[in-house]
Amino acid sequence: MKFQLSHFAALSMVMLGAILLPVWAQNPIEASPEEYRVYEAVFGLMDPIPKEDLHVTVFSVTLNSKCGEDAYPNPLANGCTFLWMKPDTANSVKQLLRGEWADLENATWADFEMENAASVHLHEPISTPWKHKLIGPGDDPSKDWESPDPTIFLSRVGFNQKRTQAVVYVLIFSYVDQVATTGDYFLFRKDKTGQWKPSGRVTYFTKDKE
């Protein structure tokens, strides 16, 4: 699949007018503390980027499963979500993942679908292995952050009923030479110490730098 998004377009999307900001500010739903623990675990699995003094922006609004204007302020592929790109559906992506992860529980995927029906705001503190900044619609980045190396978009996290299994999708727009733009699903299991440990990874989308 061919998908192209220029650096300028990505930054323009991040800095879209603040007309919808009051709506976001009134949204009482937030990602749970357990989701932030999964985010921190997944950041530790990111492929290394061959650049010193890396500047990473993390989009402060989670991805959602909508299309068109309803998806605002998320990036779109073929007019719809990156979670399952047309002609894919939530069910076809579930089957793709089940083909790789036989232990993916139905409850985990059902929760993932439900949680990603709408976006929520993310907030600090978020622990990452590199220098990062949360940035969202209406933000005016400082000079040091006008040209990030990658921008990371996170889904909500889906959990099983016991909260011992988790699935999350991570979309990375790369502006670094020889580093691809990717969308990956990650599966985690909680160990006996309460730490989230990787259990699987599926690269759903990739676009090499031209």
Q: What is the pLDDT of residues 169-200, one digit of tens each?
A: 999 988 777 677 899 999 999 999 999 999 99
How many other β-carbons are positioned within 10 Å of the β-carbon of residue 77? 20
- pLDDT tens for residues 90-102? 999 999 999 999 9
| Predicted local distance difference test score (pLDDT) of residue 16 | 36
* Cα(93)–Cα(98) distance, integer angstroms: 8
Higher pLDDT, 130 or 10: 130
pTM given for the model: 0.84
Helix (H, G, I), strand (E, B) or coil at 169: strand
